[in-house]
Structure formats: structure tokens, C-alpha cells
Structure 1
Amino acid sequence: MLILGIPCLVLRFLLQEVSFQCVLQDVQTQLFCFQTCTRAKGSMYHALTYATILEMQAMMTFDSQDIMNAGNTMKEAQAIYGQKHRIKEIHAEICYAECLLQRAALTFLQDENMVSFIKGSIKVRNSYQTYRELDSLIHSPHYVKGENHPHFEGGVKLGVGAFNLTLSMLPSRIVRLLEFVGFSGNKEHGLRQLQEGASVYSFRSVLCTMLLLCYHTFMTFVLGTGKGNVEEAEKLLKPYLARYPKGSIFLFFAGRIETIRGNVDGAIKRFEECCEAQQNWKQFHHMCYWELMWCFTYKRQWKMAYFYADLLSKENTWSKATYIYMKAAYLCMFGPDDHKPFGDDDVALYRAVPSLKLKIAGKSLPTEKFAIRKSRRYLSSNPVPLPVPVLEMMYVWNGYAVIGKCPDLTGGILECLEDAEAALERSPGNSYLFVDDQCVIKLLKGLCLKYLGKISEAEEHFTYIHLNEKKIKYDHYLIPNALLELALLYLDQDRREDAVKILERAKQNYKNYSMETRTHFRIQAALHQAKLSPENGVLEAEVSC
């Protein structure tokens, strides 16, 4: 199952962001044009583009009929390339590699059995090997540039860059296994390939740009240390936003950039503009609703945050369990005088969460599993309330790296945590989950204190969790994450040797806890940061990953 991470990550970026023209203007019109265009039946690029749009739709909806339609269209596109065309035409070879990768993603989505997994994995490996061979061809002395060589080279840079970047971010234990079966990745090389692909006009330059925007505004936050290159993201986005000022996907990324900067009001404005820009793909609105939910969370406007969680729970099918959990969590934040929505009860909502679990590509979603574990408290006749479920989930999505840019927002969240800590101390009998709840609050308080510049206090909070790990009953994820945050605190102080030791301890000594894979992604990113020389950013060999 380890190889599954590659197509899911790469394809999600390629397919969700491939909407360059269809989301820029009108999706249904573009689909109609492609359906009625006879060239899609015989032209390599028309066939691939049409199939990609259908696959993007399938990825957005997870509807079985959409998946089947996309799969059939992708097979037809692959048939156009054929062995005969691939021998004669290198453009057919690059289209074939893209098609393989996309068909692999559909295979994983459509069936959960081992045969489908093996078939999909073979497609991924063949695609990877094809990209490598084409990259070698470009650098060969026998390579002759044709009239359309920028489009071919752009495709190679997209594939090579995407694979290298994705593989480089995977936890080291997965990388070692993938290297054994022939995969390898280099982050710097991947970024360089994508930057070159984005800077030269080709059919795929916009895809290189979108993948880089995903990396700088999402991957570095959700799967990294929260140190995204905002300036680079803005530079990449600026020409597209100028050309397509009402392009939803570009407005969405503009909103993400404002969020990362800590300009939450500016982000809200951008996401609202994004929703107004097009009405055909409601799933795209849902991406904005998710971002708006967190923006209002940062501002502690619980009713507005609840409003968007409620919209998602009613309109979207990606993760009902997560949305219902968030609805219940926001209800817990309402004050005694706040009017709660009719018919909504937080305990009833928590109890509904386990029944809503989904499986995608045969795997349960980590965020859903986290929400289900947390909701189990409410299954008994005498439930033990969660202390700060909203602010805890905010940590899962690395929201503290966002509010850390704005002292007012950080101070406000810290006040909420201090109130929760005082309420916990007053709780009757200090329940058997007291230490778990106390350590949750300590972790989150430590982050707020760090961003407010109170370094020694932050260190005390992270260390407290590690010292009390034997007393924690269920929330074992707190210990490796506290070590991770302590290591990041040390990195900010240039205590790199201490940081690496703690990161290795967090990576090696703890297993089978909530959100483990995501934590390992973040540990890998922190180790990569620790290996960089502060003078010139060159990797130093003595630190092992």
C-alpha cells in the first residue's frame, strides 16, 4: 500500500489543478466543446485534455459513474497513442506517460482489491520509467529539437518535477522501500524542473505553475513545517491573476496566499470572490467553504465557522464524518447566551461521526479516523467533554503557523486555551482523561507562546508533555508532536544538533498513533530544514535522514 501515496498525491495536484481553461471560464461550455469536437477522437492532446477534465470531475465528485466515464475516456485516449505512434512520435510517449498515471489513480479509486492495486502500481512505475527515459533523451547529444519541442520538454519537466517533489517529501521509511523498487526523488531537482517548466510557455506550463502553487501554499503547511515561500507563490500567480482576474482557481490561490500571510480578512474576501466567479462546479465552492471555515476560526467567530461546516456537511460528500465533527466542535464553543441552530445537539452530532466513515482507495481518511477516536468519548451515557476540539483540529491542519503571523489572532486563541485550562482544573473529580486533556491544551498553548515570542514558556509546555507521556491514556499522538514542535523551536534558535536528536527520537520511538503519517511528513520536512546550512542553504552530509 505504500506506493499508493505517489499516484494519489501527484494525480490530485495534476487533476485538481488542471482546470486552467475550464475553471477560468465555464466548465460546462468547455466540456461541451470537447465532446462535440471530432478532434478529440483522433488528436493526442485533445483526447488527453478531454479525458483529464473528466478525470478531474471524477476526482472532485467521487461519483462511480463519473469514475467509469473518465476511465473509459482515458482508455480511448491511450488507444490513440498506441505503440505505433509512440515509436514515431515522442509527443505520443509523453501523453502516454501522463495517461498511465491518471489511469492508475482511477484504478485505485474504482476498486479496493489487491489485483487493482497491483495493476495501478504497475502503471505508476511504467509512467515513472517513461518520464526518466524521456528526460535522458532531452539531455542526450542525439536529441534534435523540433518545431514543438517546448511542449514536449514542458511535459517531461512536469512529470519529472512532480515525481521528484512528491517522492522527496515522503517519510524516509517509505522512501527506502520505494528506492528498492526503483523510485527516487530529489526535492531541489523537482522544484527546479517545475520552475523551468512554468517559466517557458507550453501546453503544460500552467500545470507546472499550479503544482508549484500547491506546494508553496498547501504542502509546506499541511505536510511541512509551515515555512512556505509566499513571495515565490505570489510571483507565479501574478501574471495569471492579471490575465484572468475572475478565474476561480487563481482567486483561490490568492486567498491561500493571504491566509499564509496572516491577512485573514483579505483571505475571506478572496474566497468569497472565488465562489462568485463560477457556479458550475459546486465542489470548487466547497474548497472555499473549508478555507472560510478556518478563517473564521482564526478570528474566533464561531457562528460563521459553524455556518460553513454546516454547508459542507449538507452539500459535500468528501468527508461527512469530519464536517459533522466540526459542527459539533463549533457548537461547544458557543456561549451560554448564543442561540444554537434548531435541532443541532453537539452530543448527538459526535455520536453520529463513527457511522459516517469513508474509504477512498481502500484506505480510511486519517482526519476521519482522528475525529472518530475523539468522538468515542460521547458514546457512553456519561460522556466526558472534549476540552478544545476546534483548536485541536486546527493544529492537525497546522493553523497555528497561520495565526502566528498575527499577534492579535494568536493572543485571542491563547485566551481561549487559558479559559479551557481553568475550566479543566475546575472539572468535578478531574476525570480519568485529565492528563490527556491537560496535555492537549499544553501543546496548543506552547505553540501560541512560541509565536508570541515567549520561547522559554513554550519549551516548558512541550517538555511537560514528554515528561508525562506514561500518564497519557489515549492521545498518544501528543508525544511525538510535542517533540516535533520542540525540535522546530530549537531550529528557530539554530540549535540544529539538539533538534535533529529530538526529531530522530520522535520518528523512531513512537508508532500507531493518530495522524502518524502526517506527523512523519512533518518530521521529514523538519529534518530537511535541519540539514540546510544557514549560510547558503546547501545540504550538509553529516545529518542523516
Structure 2
Amino acid sequence: MKSSTNGVGRIFSNAPELNSVDKMCSENLLSPPMDLEAALKECSSALDLFLNNRFSDALALLAPWKNQSMYHAMGYSSILVMQAGMTFDPKDMNAAMEALNDALLLCQRFRKKTGIMVTLSNLWYRQSPESLTEEEMHAELCYAEVLLQKAALTFLDESIIGFIKGGMRIRNSYQIYKECQAMIQSNSHSRGKSTNIHFQGGVSMGIGSFNLMLSLLPGRILKLMEFLGFSGDRELGLSELRAGASSGSLRSILSTLTLLMFHLYVSVILGSGDVDLSEAEALLEPFAKRFPNGALMLFYVARIALLKGNIRLAQEKFLACIAAQHEWRQIHHLCYWELMWAYSFEQNWREAYHYAHLLCQESKWSQSVYVFQKASILSMLPEDEVQKLGENVVDLYREVDGLRLKMAGKSIPTEKFAAKKAQRYSASKPAKLAVPALEMMYVWNGFTIVGKRADLTENMLTTLEKAEEELKHQPNPSEYHLDDQCVVQLLKGLCLRQLGQLDQAEVCFARVSSSEADLKYDKYLVPFSMYEMGLLHKQRGDIQKAISVMESAKTDYKDYNMESRLHFRIHAALNSMTSCQAEMTPL
């Protein structure tokens, strides 16, 4: 295997080279062996260091044993995978992939050895869980976890081959987790009483994560996944993750972070915005008390405050998160993104610009979106203020398309959306976007946060009514004129619905739908307005009509921007309404 210190050196300068596992093990034969219980204790200590912002110290603790202990190898590679996922730096990705490969080889050494005949028989008859030792059981669990991380890193490869490889690894990982679950059900795990809690916690995290994430998929995709052997039961997923979070195991924090990601991000961006903040707070509380200055804890405390509509507290906590550590700048970038939106919700465009500008300068995650966002925020400022900042909005929009990334050969939906909106600035005589920062806010479902505060919603409504008047009296309307009017109507209707002015909101959504035949570019507006109309009917209590309108939005429209994102939101809303109907139906 190739050796590499480039990506690792920036966070742990004394890390040994990533040589082959067998070579390193032969060099350490004289070292006293580390048993499973001792390895778990030391990895728990490393995790505590990590959660206290001591990232290099965590790696330093894991490094000496990463070629002999499967838990040390998994912990070491996990930290490098996190860094690679945040930096998008090829050197970091290569270092993480090499660490993962070494970890897989090491886990393989501890897995139960099987001959060719046993391997063939296992195709028809599952290997008895009773035949595995305590160490072999943990090797299966660690192998599945590392394989899943490798799959996630493989998805960042731009080729379709990388995408297929990632999918196959996910399937293999899932099957091993299922086998580990069978070990628990057969009571074979009781042999290793001291490490039992860590095995059960790891299985709960794996099974729970798979079920929860698959349950988010729209029905037709979920059926295909179930045909391939996966399951997507949301309640089972949540239950397993809750069990893992409360288990007191090494992976308790990982189960907790998965649940927090679901409640605080996935449910907002890919759902209807109905977030279980009380559970999120309860999950975070013990870890926030234990690691009060931990960057991850401060970040999630801030995110909960933001989703509650407590913008000032959120801003304060995000700034505290930035100040808490300076080793991983990428955590700062996450905070910049959140602060950009927090100030945007207040329409404090000058401060929002500051953080958008920092993202453009420092983060590699999605330069296309960052530049579009920066240009859109500047578009909300007076022209003389933009000039004082030394910025040129037209030039920024013209950069957007050339900065796009691809995953598995496919464009990222939000980048594709941004590039299409920015196209109008490529003409010799650019046509200004109407309310681009507010439109992008809607794409990220930010209006669900604004809707928690009547004052912020009313301020948004004032801005939209002003834009509506300007469009109405535009002396030389461009070819985008109707599309811009419909964008404003959709967002205006959303604000009115959140303020409880349902009849006026319905008029706005109906105007968008009635313009379907004349829209030239923003075809996405009609199905999205129907989705919002469905939520309006739900708010009125007419669940059946809400379901009917949303089903129509899902099935009657194809090939428009952000189609998959709308399908996720419709899927979440329909699940919610179907559950409500079931609860209301008498037995």
C-alpha cells in the first residue's frame, strides 16, 4: 500500500506512515497485546478527547495501536473520514481511504476464518452465531462500520463506477449488521459480558441508521430497496437509535448525533419542517453537560435555538462554537453557513454577506452555491452599498456555472438550481432576479424557521409586497417577468399561510397554478405551490383534500428543478397526515 502523511499531517504531525497491517503487526510482536475490553476503554478516552476539541490528541492516543486493535483502527480512520468529508481535499480523502483499507484488513484478521466449503454453504445456510467468539463478533461489527464509512467516502468519487462500488459496500455492510442483530437475538453475545453493552450499542446504531434513512425515501424507491434486501421502517429506526443513544456504549454519542442530524437537518431540508425539538434537546442535554465547551455540542445547541426561532441565542452559540477550537477550521465553515442564514432570516443582509463571503474564501464544499448565495444576498442590498463593498453582482452570478461539482457523474441539485437561475446574467443585458436570497431560503426550507416568529414573517411579507409592486410597475418587463411574479406570489402565499391568513394565501398559490401554461423557465413553481396549497388544506383541517392535492403535485409533474427535494417533502407530509388519519379513526 502507498504511504501518505499529507492529509494526516495537518491534524497530527507525528502520525506514522500508513504501511500494510501485516508489516506493522510483525514489527510489534514484542508489544503486550491489548485485549478487547482495554481497547474499548482507550477508544472511549479518545472519543472524550475528540468531543473536548482535542482532535490531535485523540489521533495520538489511537495511532500506536491502530495496526493491532480493530477499535483503534476504526476510531483512527473515522476521524480521518470526518476530516475528508469536511475539507473535500483530495489529500485528506486519500489518507482517509488508506486508513479505511488498513482498518478493513485488520478487522478481517479478527473475523472468523472459513474455508471454501464453509463459505459456499453460507450462501444457503447462515453461519450459526453461537460459533463466533466474543472477539469475532466485534470484528464483524467493526468490519460493517468501516465498510459503511468506505462506502460513504466512495460516493464522493465523481465516476458512476464509484457510485456502484459504494452501493455494493452499503449492501454488504447492511447484511453484516443483520447478522450481528441475529447474534444478539440468539443470546450468543452474553459470553462477553464486559463488552456486551458496546456490541449491542453498535448494532442498534447500524440497524437504526439504515432503517431511518431508508424510510425517508419516496415509496417507489423504497420498494426497490426492499426488493434488494433492505428495510426502511422509521419507527424501528428511531427506536433502535434511541436504544443506542441511551446504552452508555462507545457508540452512544454516534447514535445521538444521527438522531440529531435527522431531527435538526434532514427533517427540515427533506421534510415538511415538523421537527421534534423536545427529543433533540433531551438527547443533547447529557452530552452538553459533559462537554460544555465541545464544538459539536455548542453547534447543536445553536441549531436547536435557531429552529425555535431564537435567532439571537443561536448567533451567540454559533460564535461560541467558532471560538471553542481552531484546529478544525471546517467546523467554523458549518457555523458560517448557519450564521449566514440566521442573519438572512432577520434580513440583516450586511452581516449575512460577511459569512457568505467567508464561505467563498475558505470552504470547498460547494463554491457554486456559496457564490450564488453571496450574489443573491448582495442583490438584496442597495446598489451604493454593494459598490462600497467592492463587489460586482453580475460577475459573481457569471461564475456560478463554472464552479459546479459532480457526484457519480451527476450534477448536485442545489448547484444545478443555482446555475439555472444565474443564467440570465450571462446575457449582454442581464435580467435581475426578483428576490433571489428569499427564493434560495425557500429551497432550504428556511421559511419554516421564519414562520416561528410573526415579526420576522411580517417583515418578509413587507419585502415581498414591495417586490410585487416593483414588478407590477416595471417599465420594460423582461422575458422572465411572469416567472419572477410567480416566485413572489409563492413566497407571499407562504408568509400569509404562516400568519394564518389562509384565504389570502390561497389566492397567491392559485395565481401561480393558473400561470402554468405561460411560465417559461421556473416550472418548479407550480408543483411547489400545489404542495403549499396542500399544507394550507391541512391547516384548515381538510386532510383528505390536502392528500389529494399533494398526490397530484407528485404524479402530474415531471422534470423540473428540485423535483426530488419536493418528493421528499411530499413523502414526509403524506406520512404525517396518514398517521393523523389513523389516530383519528376509531378501532
Shift of 1:417: 0.5
What's the TM-score once normalised by structure 1's chain length? 0.92
1:27 aligns with 2:52: no
Equivalent residue, structure 1, for 2:207 = 160
Map residues 48-447 of structure 1 onto 2, 5 A cutoff: 48-82=74-108, 85-86=111-112, 87-88=132-133, 89-110=136-157, 112-114=159-161, 116-140=162-186, 144=190, 146-147=192-193, 148-338=195-385, 340-447=387-494
Aligned residue for 1:476, secondary structure, equals coil
How far 1:288 moved relative to its partner? 0.3
Match of 1:6 in 2: none
Query: Over residues 49-95 of structure 1, what are the superposed CA-to-partner deviations in whole Å (9 max), with x where a residue is unaligned?
Result: 00111111111111112111111111111111216534532111110
Provide the C-alpha distance between the structure 2 equivalents of 1:534 and 1:252, rounded to a whole number of angstroms: 36
Q: Paired residues, what number?
A: 520
Deviates more, 1:527-536 or 1:164-173: 527-536
1:464 matched residue in structure 2: 511
Letter matched to residue 52 of structure 1: S
1:484–1:523 contact (8 Å) kept in structure 2: yes
- Say whether the 8 Å CA contact 1:67–1:110 is kept in structure 2: no
Partner of 2:30: none
Give the match for residue 9 of structure 1: none
Aligned to 2:535: 488
1:142, 1:56 → 2: CA distance? 33
Further displaced range: 468-477 or 79-88:
79-88
Pair 490,83 (structure 1): closer, same or farther in 2 beyond 3 Å: farther
Is the partner of 1:66 in helix, strand or coil? helix
Q: Return the alpha-carbon distance in structure 1 between the equivalents of residues 390 and 552 of structure 2.
A: 47
**Contact in 2 for aligned 1:294/1:305 (Cα 8 Å):** yes
Displacement after TM superposition at 1:537 (Å): 8.3
Q: Is the 8 A contact 2:110 2:139 kept in 1?
A: no
Report the AA paired with residue 196 of structure 2. Answer: H
The partner residue of 1:499 within 523, 526, 546 is 546
Q: CA deviation at 1:360?
A: 3.1
Structure 1 runs (4+) deviating above 6 angstroms are none
Q: RMSD of aligned C-alpha atoms?
A: 1.9
Taking the aligned partners of 2:551 and 2:504, their CA distance within structure 1 comes to: 23
Measure, in 1, the Cα distance between the counterparts of 2:168 and 2:291: 39
Equivalent position amino acid for 1:178 in 2 = M
How far residue 342 of structure 1 moved from its aligned partner, in angstroms, is 4.3
> Cα distance, 1:200 vs. partner?
1.4
User: Would the aligned equivalents of 2:369 and 2:415 in 1 still touch at CA under 8 Å?
Assistant: yes
1:444-495 deviation line (CA, Å, top 9, x unaligned): 0011111111011112211221122111111011111111111112222321
Partners of 2:337 and 2:75 lie apart in 1 by 28
CA distance in 2, matches of 1:182, 1:307: 48
Aligned to 2:73: 47
How many Å apart are 1:430 and its aligned residue? 2.7
Three-state SS of the structure 2 residue aligned to 1:25 is: coil
Aligned partners of 1:535, 1:230: CA distance in 2, in Å?
A: 23
User: Which aligned pairs between 1:4-23 and structure 2 lie closer than 5 A?
Assistant: 21-23=49-51
Aligned 8 A contact 1:64 1:110 in 2:
no
State the shift of 1:191 in Å: 0.5
Residue aligned with 2:250, SS: coil
CA shift at 1:21, angstroms? 4.0
Contact 1:23 1:278 in 2 (8 A): no
**Residue identity in the other structure for 2:168:** I
Give aligned-pair identity as a percent: 44
Deviation at 1:143, TM superposition (A): 5.4
Q: Which amino acid aligns with 2:580?
A: S
Q: Deviation at 1:204?
A: 0.5
1:24 is matched by which residue type in structure 2?
Answer: N
Q: Would the alpha carbon gap of residues 291 and 474 (structure 1) be closer, same or farther in structure 2, given more than 3 Å must change?
A: same
Q: 1:117 to 1:299 in 2, by over 3 A?
A: closer
Partner Cα separation in structure 1 for residue 73 and residue 90 of structure 2: 21
Q: Conserved in 1, the CA contact under 8 Å of 2:534 and 2:549?
A: yes
Separation in 1 of the partners of 2:496 and 2:422? 28
* Deviation string, structure 1 residues 310-344 (Cα, Å, up to 9, x no partner): 00001111111111111111111112553534431
Sort the Cα spacing of 1:216 and 1:21 in 2 relative to 1 into closer, same or farther, 3 A: farther
Moved more, 525-534 or 49-58: 525-534
- How big is the shift at 1:502? 1.2
Tell me, which stretches of 5 or more residues in structure 2 are unaligned? 1-45, 113-131
- Distance (Å, rounded) in 1 between the aligned partners of 2:408 and 2:387: 37
Query: Does the 8 Å contact 1:20/1:206 carry over to 2?
Result: no
Distance 1:267 1:160, change over 3 A: same
Q: Residue 340 and residue 134 in structure 1: after superposition, are their counterparts in 2 closer, same or farther (change >3 A)? A: same
CA–CA separation in structure 2 for the residues paired with 1:333 and 1:376: 18
Q: In 2, are the aligned partners of 1:262 and 1:402 still within 8 Å (CA)?
A: yes
